Structure formats: C-alpha cells, structure tokens
Amino acid sequence: MVVPCRLVTSTPGGRAAQGGSGFAPQPPWLPRAPRLAAGGSLSRQGAAHTNATHATRGFTLIELLVAISVMALIAILSWRGIDGMVRTQEATRQRADDMLVLQAALAQWGADLDAIAPLAQTTPLDWDGQVLRLTRRSSAIPDEGPVVVAWTRRATNTGTQWLRWQSPALRTRAQWQAAWAQAAQWARTPADAERRYEVALVPIDAWQIFYYRGGAWSNALSSAGTAPVSDPSSTIPEGIRLQLTLSPGGPLSGLLVRDWVNPLLGGRRT
C-alpha cells in the first residue's frame, strides 16, 4: 500500500513550503554557483565573483624585469658609494703614513745634529752643495764608537728622494777617513756596498743648507770657518737652516724650513 506524503522545504523567510520538485534546498554554508540572468548571461553577483577570481593573478614578465632592473640599479649605486668610502679611507691612511715618515725624517735630522762629535783630527761637519756629512756619536748602547752620517738628494727607482746614509761604528782614524770618503762617493755614484746603508725618506725636488754665524744667516758654501786641527768644534755653526722643497702629491708640498740651534751655545742665546 502506498502512503501519500508531502515534501516540506524551508524558504528564505523561514516558512515551510509544501510540494515542489522533490529536491532538498542547497545548504547555506556551500558556495552558490553564479546565476544566469535572462538570456543566458551571468548576473551581477556572478560577474563580481568571476572578477574577484581573476584579481588574484601573479606578476607579468615585464613587471618582474622592471623590478629586477630597479634592484640592480640600487645595488650598483650602493657599491659605488661603498667603493668611494674605501678609497677615501685608504687615501687618508696613506696621507697619515707619509706624514709620520716626514716627521720621523726631521726628527732624525735633528738627532744627528745634536749628536755631532768634534773629535780631534776629524771634520765634524761639511756641506759641499750636494751632500752634508757629519761625524756623530753612536746611539747604540753600549757606545761602540762614532759613525759618519751623510744626507743627500738623489734620483732613485721611486723618484728623487731625500736619503740618509750611516757608516758602521768606527774605531780608528783610518776607518773614519775611509767612511768619510765613502759617504762622498755614495752621494754621487753609489755602489751596492754603499746602498746597503742608505735609507730613502721622502721625495723632494730640491734642498739647501744655510749656516748661522755672527748673527746672520749665510750660504753654507760661502760661510767662513775652516776647521782648525786643534779645535774642530769651531767649524760647527751656531745654527743650521734646512730648506726642503717637497714634491707634490705627498701630505705636504712646497717649501719646508727647519732650523736647528747648536745646543752648546749656552744660556745666553736661543
């Protein structure tokens, strides 16, 4: 026996609908399919759902190329800035090192003059226009004897340099005479034996020496005062003026003047 039944459905308004096609309504938690408007076209709600789906697309190839180009340009500019900072730091460090070398050379110049030793039967100081030679006390401890020191300007593999030369410690007058002559030869045509004792200091274009005698500065070549054998200390002037023309490109350039005062003058003069 067939029992008749009714299909009860729920309407959006909450009322029950009777009869119908026999299909249950779609649950509210499931996504609704886009509805077709009259004539088979999508409704406004369906078109909006389709546009939202297409809006989640990725980047195009052109957009990626533009982004990569911008990042590469930023990287290049950043590298140039870092490279400029490194170059500036290196130039500053090189300038500081050159300044320290110049200060050390001038300090050595003053120390050599302060240690001049007027020994008997020797020449404590001599300037011939190219090389300054002097006999000084050794700085070694214990003292091994006097040494001959020479200063000159000569062309080298790295340019025209201000050079210093020093002999080994001397014991006899014959050794002093040999070292004195060797210093003069080193300033003009040095051999490998003389080059072993030289030190290149700073690049210079020219240099000049002046002596202070009788209350005035004069050219060391025309300054009077030949060393008498009995009193070699009389050949040491009251003061010595050093004029260096520093080569361009260093920490300092141009004319540099350094005056030295004989420490044996006493308290009446400075």
pLDDT tens, position by position, 49-103: 555 555 556 778 888 888 888 888 888 877 777 877 888 888 888 888 888 999 9
Count of structural domains, the chain: 1
256 within domain boundaries: yes
Q: What is the pLDDT of residue 20?
A: 47
Whole-number Å distance between alpha carbons of 65 and 218: 77
Q: What is the pLDDT of residue 202?
A: 92
15 within domain boundaries: no
213 within domain boundaries: yes
Residues in the chain with pLDDT values less than 50? 1-3, 5-21, 23, 36, 42, 224-229, 267-270
37 within domain boundaries: no
Secondary structure element (H or E) that encloses residue 12, with its range:
none
Determine contact, residues 25/10, Cβ cutoff 8 Å. Answer: yes
161: left (phi over 0), alpha (psi -120 to 50) or beta: beta
230 within domain boundaries: yes
E strand segments, the chain: 8-10, 16-18, 125-127, 131-136, 147-156, 159-166, 198-213, 216-219, 239-246, 254-261
**Domain limits for position 171:** 96-265
85 within domain boundaries: no
154 within domain boundaries: yes
68 within domain boundaries: no
Q: What is the pLDDT of residue 212?
A: 93
Q: What is the pLDDT of residue 30?
A: 55
Q: What is the pLDDT of residue 142?
A: 82
